[in-house]
């Protein structure tokens, strides 16, 4: 019989695209066992799982997601909405969600928006729904994002908001922003600072409000009255512009910044004004961007584990789709102490500044 006359079922696995039955036959297990391995179920003996995985590797088997979608009526696709702003934290979360989603067996469809306005968010969610996504991750905890997520709750699609407000939306994940701000502010207080200013983010962002709350909590707990915060827009430029005013003030010995980019701009403004850091003004940031350890001086900051946030978002989606309780939504922050903080009134000389430049 010619090759053309033979049906796909009559061909050997080497002659056609392998199917799940071929994997089961080679591994010596049932079709159902292979299905459980492919779909990430863990209630299998390790040796059985390894035998199936080895058969998959030998045959080069790949799951037919289109056929699976027809049978299960599930697309195995999740959507991710982010901003084109390019900040390191959200970008890291986005990359991690894509990787963790693929590892969990999902195709990830992304929508990167110029800005996270309500209109753009609604359009992006509608676009992803047209692709039959099973869930959506929205990176950016703005008020508009929370409203857009809340509007989807009655439509059966989980929308997980990264750094959202869990009192205002059903699914959210992120680092404990309040605790992180308390860590950074408490360090300054422990060093002896009492005249501490907060350089905050946009008030429409949940993260900015939470970090302001943590700052105020630490100040009040120490019996200190916080001065009104100065507000930026997360960018280094806004930190620099605010920093030019802060540098002229004699009533500020330390600044807790709501993110590292604004802290970076503040450091430049202080340097241009001849104000030494940490001698005259101590500075604490938030995020621990890769450049934080290489600023002059190296920046004390609150580290967020953005990789853990992205992976936790996928775990929450899996639990939501299975109708099961999800994992904890808050991830603990970590304080990273570097040379931008010190006791008040300890001036640094030019030699020490050169030492940081040479480090």
Per-residue pLDDT, 4 = 43
For 321, phi then psi, to 5°, come to: -70, -30
Buried b (16+ CB within 10 A) or exposed e, 35-65: bbbbeeeeeeeeeebebbeebbeebebeeee
- Whole-prediction pTM: 0.76
DSSP secondary structure letter of residue 280 = T
Quick one: pLDDT at residue 350? Answer: 38
CA pair distance 24, 38, nearest whole angstrom: 12
Q: Give Cα separations from 339 to 116, 246, 284, 302, 348 (angstroms).
A: 35, 20, 10, 14, 11
Count Cβ atoms within 10 A of the Cβ of residue 94 and give its class: 0-12 exposed, 13-18 middle, 19 or more buried: buried
What local confidence, expressed as pLDDT, does residue 42 receive?
62
For residue 161, what are the β-bridge partners?
138, 172
**pLDDT tens string for the chain (359 positions)?**
444 444 444 445 455 578 888 888 999 998 788 877 776 666 788 888 889 888 888 888 766 554 454 444 467 899 999 887 778 888 899 999 999 888 888 889 998 888 888 888 888 988 888 888 999 999 887 888 888 888 877 677 888 998 877 777 788 899 999 999 999 999 999 999 999 999 999 998 999 999 999 999 999 999 999 999 999 999 999 999 999 999 999 999 999 999 999 999 999 999 999 999 999 999 999 999 999 999 999 999 999 999 999 999 999 998 988 888 888 889 999 999 999 999 998 654 433 433 343 33
Cα distance between residue 258 and residue 286, in whole Å: 6
Q: How far is CA 83 from CA 29, 78, 227, 233, 299, in A?
A: 46, 17, 32, 14, 26
Model pLDDT, residue 65: 52
Angle at the Cα of 331 (from 211 to 170), degrees rounded to 5? 85
pLDDT of residue 59: 85
Find how far residue 269's CA is from the centre of its chain: 29
Tokens in use for 294? 């290489």
**Nearest-angstrom CA–CA distance, 311 and 314:** 5
Tokens of 87: 């900040």
pLDDT of residue 41: 64
* C-alpha distances in Å from residue 189, one per residue of 15, 208, 224: 71, 21, 9
What local confidence, expressed as pLDDT, does residue 87 receive?
Answer: 81
pLDDT score at 346: 62
Residue that the structure tokens 């802290």 belong to: 263
* Cβ(177)–Cβ(214) below 8 Å: yes
């Amino acid at each position: 019989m010619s090759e053309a006359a033979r049906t796909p079922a009559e061909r050997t696995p080497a002659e056609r695209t392998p199917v799940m039955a071929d994997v089961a036959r080679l591994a010596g297990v049932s079709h159902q066992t292979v299905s459980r391995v492919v779909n990430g179920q863990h209630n299998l003996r390790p040796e059985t799982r390894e035998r199936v995985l080895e058969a998959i590797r030998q045959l080069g088997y790949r799951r037919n997601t289109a056929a699976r979608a027809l049978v299960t009526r599930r697309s195995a696709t999740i959507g991710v909405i982010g901003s084109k702003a390019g900040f390191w934290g959200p970008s890291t979360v986005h990359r991690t969600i894509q990787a963790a989603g693929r590892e969990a067996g999902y195709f990830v469809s992304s929508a990167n928006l110029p800005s996270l306005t309500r209109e753009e968010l609604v359009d992006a969610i509608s676009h992803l729904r047209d692709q039959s996504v099973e869930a959506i991750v929205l990176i950016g905890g703005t008020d508009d994002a929370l409203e857009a997520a809340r509007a989807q709750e009655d439509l059966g699609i989980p929308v997980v908001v990264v750094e959202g407000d869990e009192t205002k939306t059903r699914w959210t994940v992120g680092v404990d922003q309040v605790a992180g701000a308390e860590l950074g502010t408490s360090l300054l207080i422990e060093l002896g600072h009492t005249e501490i200013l907060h350089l905050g983010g946009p008030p429409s962002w949940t993260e900015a409000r939470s970090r302001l709350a943590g700052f105020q909590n630490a100040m009040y707990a120490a019996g200190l009255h916080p001065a009104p915060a100065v507000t930026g827009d997360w960018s280094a430029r806004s930190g620099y512009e605010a920093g030019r005013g802060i540098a002229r003030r004699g009533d500020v010995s330390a600044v807790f910044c709501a993110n590292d980019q604004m802290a970076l701009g503040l450091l430049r403004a202080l340097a241009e004004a001849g104000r030494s850091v940490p001698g005259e003004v101590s500075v604490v940031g938030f995020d621990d961007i890769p450049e934080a350890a290489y600023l002059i001086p190296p920046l004390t900051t609150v580290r967020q584990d953005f990789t853990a946030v992205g992976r936790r978002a996928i775990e929450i989606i899996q639990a939501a789709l299975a109708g099961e309780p999800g994992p904890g939504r808050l991830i603990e922050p970590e304080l990273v102490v570097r040379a931008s903080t010190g006791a008040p009134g300890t001036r640094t000389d030019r030699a020490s500044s050169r030492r940081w430049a040479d480090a």
